[in-house]
Structure 1
């Protein structure tokens, strides 16, 4: 199967250095022209430079995904630059946060707004463009394992990712008459493989940081005597059946296929690439790391740096 996105144009929101950048790069490597959005203009430009270093074509379209005028503006900019839009990846989200006992109203509201309005405004704007121009495109929303199962310390994140899951199913029904497909992809704590991110944070990304600084993973708050520990902060790979949850490159390969014509009848579905982490029963203890065959070697897409974030089994 020769996956090709040649002739297609993609918009990726939240194209920051980890998952968003990985998806944007994969779409470009498979032939799409990519518009990289992020609320941080420099993050969007960094994603563009990574794509260009690897031989792809991209532009930066920075902006707040909760601003309807800005969303309409950058979609119009993409059409004016590349002539069309065939793919939308809704990845923008606010990471970090606290548990239900400690989360602030301001953070909860903003986190939900970014996910809710980000998915809604971009899907509405791009979906209308596709419908009006007869483009049978693909829209992918990025969910999280926290949207499907409970995890302490990330109440806002869990709430809005759960909402993303049903938004996808409902939007898929709305857009099916136009031949526009809407699906989701669920990452599970991927290991960074962007050389720039690894240089800044270490091979494990946020997992290399002290617990108090692990934004996006959740943290405990308060010193009251009634407090109880809510999270286990030990190693995650031994809990995963195949020993690794993969990398943004693994995610990118799957999303690229999902946006290709080979997936023409897939809509309203969720895809997971996580080494079996989400499928695992809570009582199942995987084999010891030394006894695992592990996955096949990772097929790289970034030729500009060593994939230091890959595990030994991923390197083959």
Structure 2
């Protein structure tokens, strides 16, 4: 099966250097023109450089996904340049956070707002553009293992991703009469494979972050985390051996799967969730695979980034 997105135009929100950039690159390598959205001009520029050095075509689509005028503006800009949008990937999200005992109301509200309002506004305006032009397109909403099961220390993120899952089912019903498909995609803690991140020393080792006041802290967190009544937030050892396949994969794994989900081969797939997580979600809590050295692991990764990072 030779997947091709030739002639299609994609819009990817939250095109930061890990998952968003990986998805944007994959869609490009499969033939789509890609509009890269983010609130960070630096992230957009890096994503476009990565696409272009691998032979693809991309454009900037800057804006805040929670502001309707911003969304309307960059959707119209993509339509003006390329005349259509066939694929929308709702990926923008606020990562990290704190647990329910320590999260701040403003931070909780912002995290939920980005996923809920961001996914809604982009689906609304891109969906209208597709329907008006008779385009039987694809909307992919990035979920998370945190949306399906409980994890300490990310209460706002977990709440928002749980909402994403039912948004997808409802939106799929709204858009089915137009031939527009809506699905979610669930990864979990992918290991970075972007050359820029690797050059900066980001390895993505799957271990719990330290407890503390940092916004990305896991577990209970808190300003100091040293109150006498505190309990450990979570097990802090290595998690990779707990994954049945021995790895949770990379953004390239995610990109391959999103490209298929966005292609015409998935023409009847709508209102559902595609899980690419090395078996993490399927695992019974009491089951542990063999020791890390005894796991066969998956077949080698089919890479997408064919050149070294250059500025």
Given that 1:35 and 1:59 are in contact with CA atoms closer than 8 Å, whether structure 2 keeps it comes out as yes
Segments of structure 2 that go 5 or more residues without pairing to the other structure are none
Q: For residues 221-240 of structure 1, give each alpha carbon's deviation from its aligned partner in whole angstroms, at most 9, with x where no partner exists.
A: 33211111121121111100
Aligned equivalents of 1:237, 1:211: Cα separation in 2: 20
Q: Which residue of 1 aligns with 2:195?
A: 195
Is 1:175 matched with 2:214?
A: no
Aligned equivalents of 1:193, 1:213: Cα separation in 2: 28
Given that 1:88 and 1:139 are in contact with CA atoms closer than 8 Å, whether structure 2 keeps it comes out as yes
C-alpha spacing 1:189/1:48, structure 2 compared with 1 (3 Å): same
Aligned equivalents of 1:16, 1:275: Cα separation in 2: 23
Given that 1:41 and 1:63 are in contact with CA atoms closer than 8 Å, whether structure 2 keeps it comes out as no
Tell me the TM-score normalised to structure 1 length.
0.93
Aligned to 2:182, what secondary structure does the other structure show? Answer: strand
C-alpha spacing 1:215/1:169, structure 2 compared with 1 (3 Å): same
C-alpha spacing 1:207/1:196, structure 2 compared with 1 (3 Å): farther
Aligned to 1:267, what secondary structure does the other structure show? Answer: coil
Q: CA deviation at 1:305?
A: 3.2
Aligned equivalents of 2:184, 2:217: Cα separation in 1: 21
Residues 266-305 of structure 1: matches in 2 within 5 Å? 266-305=269-308
Q: Which residue of 2 aligns with 1:145?
A: 145
Tell me the TM-score normalised to structure 2 length.
0.95
Deviating beyond 6 angstroms after TM superposition, the runs of 4 or more aligned structure 1 residues are none
Q: For residues 12-41 of structure 1, give each alpha carbon's deviation from its aligned partner in whole angstroms, at most 9, with x where no partner exists.
A: 000000000000000000000000000111
Q: Which residue of 2 aligns with 1:9?
A: 9
Q: For residues 46-72 of structure 1, give each alpha carbon's deviation from its aligned partner in whole angstroms, at most 9, with x where no partner exists.
A: 101100000000011111000100100
Q: Which residue of 2 aligns with 1:314?
A: none
Given that 1:31 and 1:56 are in contact with CA atoms closer than 8 Å, whether structure 2 keeps it comes out as yes
Aligned length: 306
Alignment partner for residue 262 of structure 1, among 262, 265, 272?
265
Given that 1:201 and 1:208 are in contact with CA atoms closer than 8 Å, whether structure 2 keeps it comes out as no
C-alpha spacing 1:41/1:114, structure 2 compared with 1 (3 Å): same
Residues 57-96 of structure 1: matches in 2 within 5 Å? 57-96=57-96
Aligned to 1:271, what secondary structure does the other structure show? Answer: strand
Q: CA deviation at 1:246?
A: 0.4
Aligned equivalents of 1:202, 1:208: Cα separation in 2: 15
Given that 2:90 and 2:122 are in contact with CA atoms closer than 8 Å, whether structure 1 keeps it comes out as yes
Given that 1:36 and 1:48 are in contact with CA atoms closer than 8 Å, whether structure 2 keeps it comes out as yes
C-alpha spacing 1:138/1:45, structure 2 compared with 1 (3 Å): same
